[in-house]
Amino acid sequence: MQTRAFPCARSESAAKVRGAAYVPEGIRTLQSETMELKFDEKGLICAIAQDYESGEVLMQAYMNAEAYEKTLETGYAHYWSRSRNKLWKKGEESGHLQKVRGIYLDCDRDCVLLKVEQTGAACHTGNYTCFYTPVKECGAGAEMLGILQRIVAERKANPEEGSYTCYLFDKGVDKIAKKTGEEAVELVIAAKNRNKEEIVGECADLFYHTLVLLSDAGVSLSDVCTELKNRH
């Protein structure tokens, strides 16, 4: 497989690339004229895309210096295709764009993490993430809230007959607020009863209805998490 080496890379496989060309909205970034990245002998660096809200790892690809620059300049993920030997903008043909919300480098400066707002599926198979094949599964973590938020948003955009979520959206904010309040009270009662199983169930109900309420109000989990971060 032939790939194009980054023509300006130094012998130690490192290159300085501008790091302040693009500042994602709402993200604090390191302000500096240059940010040293360590490209390999072929002029490439590993790039990982992660859903900025759910935390799901979406895909792994490669960048050369040009792809990194384009990502910084445009705010949309660009990569270097090793098979096609060309620069490509993620979603340029499919419409499954990756709007960059944050950019982070690992401690060795040889891997780039993009926190993105994914439109459609990240994987060419049609799956939301390329990492859909389990080898050893673990319990769900906080990312489940982001996944559930996406499902709620999909139901809102594409109503399905018989969907409880669609029913709530159809009834409007009064019904949604009433159900959210009821679930909050039921969680308090479960807590007073010291019943762990009930607490888990009622908390799950409250989280779900809260996400519906947020979606109806046009508020995202990211908005809430940003507020929590600002208070920290």
Q: Is residue 90 domain-shared with residue 169, that is, in the same domain?
A: no
Does a structural domain hold residue 133? Answer: no
> What pLDDT, on a 0 to 100 scale, did the predictor assign at position 35?
64
User: Could you give the C-alpha distances from 106 to 36, 45, 50, 88, 109, in angstroms and in order?
Assistant: 12, 11, 14, 23, 5
Q: What is the pLDDT of residue 160?
A: 93
**Would you say residue 137 lies in a domain?**
no
* Mean residue pLDDT across the chain: 86
Domain count, the chain: 2
pLDDT at position 10 is: 35
Residue 214: closest CA among 160, 171, 152: 152
Q: Are residues 113 and 148 in the same domain?
A: no
Token pair listed for 177:
């607020």
Q: In which band, very low, low, confident or very high, does the pLDDT at 126 lie, cut at 50, 70 and 90?
A: very high
- Sequence letter at residue 47: A
Tokens of 69: 């620059």
- Rounded CA gap, 194 and 160, in Å? 37
Q: Using one digit for the tens of pLDDT, what is the confidence trace for 128-149?
A: 999 999 898 776 777 899 889 9
Per residue in 58-103, pLDDT tens? 999 999 999 999 999 999 999 999 999 999 999 999 999 999 999 9
Inside any domain, residue 221: yes
What is the span of the domain harbouring residue 201? 143-231
Residue at 136 is within a domain: no
Characterize 186-206 residue by residue with b for buried, 16 or more Cβ atoms within 10 angstroms of its Cβ, and e for exposed: bbeebeeeeeeeebeebbebb
Given a cut of 70, whether residue 170 has pLDDT beyond it is: yes
- Residue 38 located in a structural domain: yes
16: confidence class by pLDDT, cuts 50, 70, 90? low
Tally of CB atoms within 10 A around 102? 16
In a domain, 217, yes or no: yes
171-207 confidence digits (pLDDT tens): 999 999 999 999 999 999 999 999 999 999 999 999 9
29-49: average pLDDT? 77
Do residues 58 and 146 lie in contact, with contact meaning Cβ atoms separated by under 8 Å? no
Can you give the pLDDT at residue 20? 38
Is 194 within the bounds of a domain?
yes
d(CA 203, CA 195): 12
Q: What is the pLDDT of residue 140?
A: 72
Same domain, 113 and 40: yes
Structure tokens at 108: 């060795």
